[in-house]
Each structure stands twice: as structure tokens, then as C-alpha cells.
Amino acid sequence: MRPFCLAVLSFVALAGCNRGHAQPPATFAKGTRTGETPAVTEWIFKGDLKGEWQDHGWDDRQPRKSGEPEKHLMGSYGGWILVNTTLKETYGGLTFRMKVTPPASDFLELRVDSEMADVFPRVKLGPQHRKDLPDGWTEVFISMSELNPQLRPFDHLRMRATRPLTAPGVVEIDQVGLTAADPKLLEQIQAVMDKPGIPASFTVDCKAGTSEISPLIYGIAVSVRHEDSDTHQWRLGATSRRWGGNPTSRYNWELGNAWNTAADYFFLNVDYSNTAGYSWKSFLDVDRDRKVGSAITLPTIGWVAKDTKSVSFPKSEFKEQEAFDPDGRNAGNGIGKDGKPLKPVTPLLTSVPATPEFIAKWVKAIQDHEARRGKCVDLYFLDNEPMLWHDTHRDVHPEPLGYDELLERTINYASAVKKVAPTALIAGPAEWGWPAYFHSAIDAKAGFTMRPDRRKHGDVPLVEWWLQQLAAYEKKNGVRLVDVLDLHFYPQGQGIGVGLDGNTDSDTNALRIRSTRALWDPRYSDESWIKEPVRLIPRMKELVDKNYPGTKIAIGEYNFGAERHLSGGLALAEALGRFGQEGLYAAWYWTYPPEGTPAFWAFRAFRDFDGKGAKFEDWSMATTAPRDASLFAARNGDSSRVTLVALNFSPQETLEARVEMKGCGVPESQRVFVYTGDARGFVQREVPLGKAYRLPPYSIVTVELVMPKK
């Protein structure tokens, strides 16, 4: 086991009520450590930074020459951050040398920390950690067993002053390094691993029937800023990539490389092909070569970029704007200095009309390309989040979208596509979130209490009304225009971000994990401003069954934030498991997790947990799990193999998971893989058949069972 993988050494200032006020000098306590410091195996700083280490510090320092110690000024606190993302060894402790002028009693607090978990104690530097040297320096050593008694992966080491130092408060630091792990530490690691946890009962019911899991639930998305050369996306095991995001609403397929960045970035027409090799053809070719499906966003807003250089709010014409493109491309953000949106001149400044026939011509070109290179398009989305167009694309669609316009655009563009591609699957309306499931942008502008547009349409919620109209269209014309109901899902809880963003304090981490229940649980009242059960997947099923039977359901975008934290990885793993269990047709994560993050390994729990292609099986099975845990199970076609994915949501408690396999028979063999944040990802563990599975705090455990042949 290697629990220590990514390190950030941080000497951090502690703000307090006495900041900046010198305190009387305390008696300097002599160091009492007598033992030899273990050998350093990874030097961090020794006269200069070593290896891959980077200095991210911010405090005031005295000048120094190469080869000299760092000289921090901590009269009013200070901080030093050292970063290295390439560590791959197990370490026994941290050592450094320190000299303080004038001498001061112990004032530093040190703790291990992590972007992935929050389970570490604070250690106050004391005489027992210090060995005083004849030259006035003191040598510090703190064992990892003291810093990290649970032996969790960490990515920070933080030192902070617990009080200000007497001026000048010069703290010299040198010979910072990580020491070798001795056999006693490795024994301690094993002892922690072997310590029994809390008994927990899980069940898999093989008699309850199964449902087939759609492979399209394991999709990811790419924006035009993401490069196909970002190779780790192919190691996720994703089954489909979605060509999506705001710029795709204005993509000009005939030019091949022309987008508009919309409100995301100064309403610029751009060419991303120079940086990402991006065009619709290259996107499809890469997916086909990688044996990954594709989902394409079709513009229905009515305008696409006319070139790769025009701007909607040029500085030359709108001199008074809140902000301008820092790259000097004569583009403003379209917001006046008073904070109000500026009135756009004309869509023709950046765009050309994109009629339904123009978009259908693109679909025909895609089909012709597939005929030559091989089919890979799974479905087509009717644009992206149209109830936000008046904001994201207000330069070409400044007025809020209403019920009638949404339906009109749906019918016109979907009809044109179906004429050239009758068997193509079309998805919509690709709405962004909770308010847009029930109201139009006109309602949002006027106020949801007033909801004039909805009242005009029988006070029927937007998505329900839209499905009713499409069902009526098919009944009248004999053509199904939309095959998949697609909605987006982003938890609205305080502190939950997107991608790497979001808070990682213990309360937000717990909320992030609980927020996944909005996908499926009718008992869960959303803890954001929504304040009622969302139960998105059951809700979508009910809408379809009531208003347009036979329509598939998809979640075209979703994300829980904090991808580098284990809470983000656990939330994603929970969502992937629920997608299969709840019978979702397709889902695309926005966009895809960075390599080696907990979110990355959440995908791998289902798609490649052994590094050799082993995956969660195809037929979902009924399961039960205790509070603060989940269990997902699936079998293959002939029931000869069963896979389990167990999640422990507790950041503190280890669970001893007893899994009852009801009516399944006795497994013949098994493989067990555990992920706790280790940079190696899933680590195989030897667990005898019939024994409990140990679920460490904040962990994902995947089990592959070979069952007796029937």
C-alpha cells in the first residue's frame, strides 16, 4: 500500500484577533528528541528547490542567494507552500531544519491535509519533535504515524504560526525532506488495514429480476477547448462523447472550424482548430477510431458564426464596457459600466442565418461521412439550454424564449433532420435545470409567480406541455420528431460547484453526496432553494408515460464539482450506479474528470477497475445497503459473472460489509479492488470467499464474482 502520493507542503499564516501585535517573548523550550533522523529519500528544499518541487509561497522574505536557507519574515505571521504532484513513494515522516531570530518557543502547528479528504489531526510542534544543534539550528522530525494515524492519502502538509513572532521574526528553513518509511510504519499500515470496522449488512437479490443497463449512461462531454490529444479521457472507459456546450449553438459546420464563444468569453467568433485540431469530421473520426460513440449538438437558435474573427460588442463601437478581451481582440463583454447589458447591434455582425435546411444539410454530410468511415453518432441534440439563450447568446437572441418558439423550433429543425435521416435519434429540449423544467424564459423574466407564458398555455409545466404537443404532432402527421427527453442536472446546494470547483469542508462534502438523491429518491427534499423532492429520473419517466409514451430519457449534462476530492468521486460513482439501476437511457458527464482524480476513478469503478478492461456487467440487480453506503450489482448475460460496486460515504468509519447473495448460489472465486484516493487508483486486495469486504472511510470497492454455471 502507498498512502502518500501527492504532496503540497504549506507553511500557512494563521489569522487571529491579535494579528500584527507583538507579544512578549516566551521562554525557548529546548528540544528533547535524541534519536537519529531517518534518511531522506525525497529532498524538497536544500539550499534550492529540488526535483519537481515548486514554490507557491506568498509571504515576505529576506533576499537570499542560491544555496542559502529560505528566510521568512513571520513577525506578523507568514506562509510558504511547496508543491509536487509527482510523488510515488511511501514516506515515514517529514524533516526540516529551522532557526528563529530572536529565539522563540514552539509556535508552529503542522498537519497533513488533502484536496480529497478531511480526516487529519493537527500536530503542534513541540520539544519532542526537535533536536537542538550546536550552531543554533534545530532539526525537526515528525512521523507520518503522528500526522496521519488513519494512514489516508494526503496532498498537503500545512505549517502555520499559532501566534505572531517578536520582530524581526526571521524564520530560516532548510533541508526540508521526506524520509524513508521504516518497517514499523509499514506494520502500522497493515495493522490499520486489518483493524475491523463497523458491521454492515448489504444484500443482492438474484430472484428479483434484472433490467438491462444502457451503455450510453457512461458518456462524457467535450467542449471546443478540450483537445483530442488529452489522452486520459480515453482511459475513463467512456462509451460516448457529447459535442456540446454553449459554443456549439453557433457552430458553422460549413466552415468546419468556426464557433462563437457567447457570453462565456466576450462573444467572439473563433477558430479552435489551431489549438485543438477541432472540426466535426475530426471529432467523429477520433471517436470512431477509439470505438466511442458520438452525440452531436445541432444549432437551432437560427444563427451560426460567419467567420472566425468577428465580435458582437467591438470596443471601437462600445467604448464604455465593463470588461474587454485581455488578448486585445477588440471585444467587450457586452455589459455597460453601470452593470446593465448593452443592446446588440445586429446578429449579422457575427453571424449568418442557420435555417432548418442548413442544419439538415449538415446531418446529411455526417451520414455521408459515416458511410465512408463507419457509423458512430448515437443521437442528435436540439441545441443547448435554450431557456438561457437570452443570456448566453443575447447578441443574436436577446429576447427570452417562450413555449411557442421552443415548439416551433423543435418541429421545424427536427422535421428537416428526419427528412434526411429518418432513423436518427433526436433528443431535446436540453434544458439547463429545475426552473426550465416547468417554466419558459419569458416566465423567468416576468417572475415565476406571474408565469404569464405558462398561464397562456393552460398553466401546464413547460416540459410536460412540450411532450404533449410532440405527441399530438406524431398522431397527426405519423412522424415521431423527438426520440429522447433530455434534461440537464446540476445540484444547486450551497458550495457545490462544477468540475474542480466547489467547497470541500465536511458539511459541503456530505451535502454533495446527499444531493445525488435528487436523481432518484422521492423521500429526499432538495436542500437548496428548490426545497422539494426533485426525483429527476422517476419524474422524467412519469412525464413520458403520461404525455408521450415510448420516449427515452437522458441527462445530457451533470456534474457534482470537487473532482479532486473523494466526495466528488463518491457522488459521481453514486450517480453512475443509479443511472443503471433506474433504467436511464443515456447520460453525459460535463465534461470529463482530470486524470488520477477521485472522479476519474469513479468512472473506472464501472468501466475498467482492474486496468485490463474489466467492467461493471450489463444487467442491473436489486440491492439494499445501510445508511451512509450504497451497493450496486450487475450480472452478465448468462449469470456466470456478477460485479458489485460498494460505496462508503463516511469520512471516518470503516465498514465491515457482509453481502448476502439471495438466490444467487455460492461464488466460486472473486477479485476485490479498493480505491481510497491512492494515486495508483484501484488496488487489488486478497479477501477470502465468505469474508466481509472492508470498506475504508470514503472508499469505492469493486468486486468481481465468478458464479457457478447453471
396-421: pLDDT as tens digits: 999 999 999 999 999 999 999 999 99
> Which residue is it, cell 429540449?
429
Residue 216 half-sphere exposure toward CB, CA atoms < 13 A: 20
Least confident of 62-76, 105-119, 451-465, 597-611: 105-119
Q: Which residue has the cell 506562509?
A: 79
CA 253 and chain centroid, separation: 30
pTM of structure: 0.84
Q: Which CATH superfamily is domain 7-191 in?
A: Galactose-binding lectin (2.60.120.430)
pLDDT in tens, 674-708: 999 887 899 999 999 999 999 999 999 999 999 99
Strands annotated E in 225-307: 240-243, 259-260, 269-270, 293-298, 303-305
Q: What is the 3-state secondary structure (H, E, C) of 15-48?
A: CCCCCCCCCCCCCCCCCCCCCCCCCEEEEEECCC
Tens digit of each residue's pLDDT (9 = 90 or more) over 360-403: 999 999 999 999 988 889 999 999 999 999 999 999 999 999 99
Q: What is the dihedral of CA 21, 24, 27, 28, to 10 degrees?
A: 30
Q: What is the spatial distance between Cα 345 and Cα 174, in angstroms, rounded to a whole number?
A: 61
Q: Is residue 658 over pLDDT 70? A: yes
* Least confident stretch, 187-201, 289-303, 355-369: 187-201
Average pLDDT, the chain: 90
Q: What is the pLDDT of residue 680?
A: 83
Fold of 213-309+345-608: TIM Barrel (3.20.20)
What cell was used for 186? Answer: 509499514
Going along 438-572, which residue ranges are E strands? Answer: 484-489, 552-558
Q: What are the E-state strand segments in 387-505?
A: 426-431, 484-489
Does the pLDDT of residue 105 top 90, yes or no? no
The string of pLDDT tens digits covering residues 588-626 is: 999 999 998 999 999 999 999 999 999 999 999 999 999
Domain 195-210+623-706, classified CATH 2.60.40.1180, yes or no: yes
Nearest to 75 by CA among 7, 118, 21: 21
Domain boundaries, the chain: 7-191, 195-210+623-706, 213-309+345-608
CA 464/CA 560 separation, integer angstroms = 26
Predicted local distance difference test score (pLDDT) of residue 229: 58
Q: Are 323 and 332 in contact (CB under 8 A)?
A: yes
- SS3 (DSSP) at 405: helix
Per DSSP, the three-state class of 589 is strand
SS (H, E, C) 115-180: CCCCCCCEEECCHHHEEECCCCCEEEEEEHHHHCCCCCCECEEEEEECCCCCCCCEEEEEEEEEEE
- Region class of 492: left (phi > 0), else alpha (psi between -120 and 50), else beta: alpha
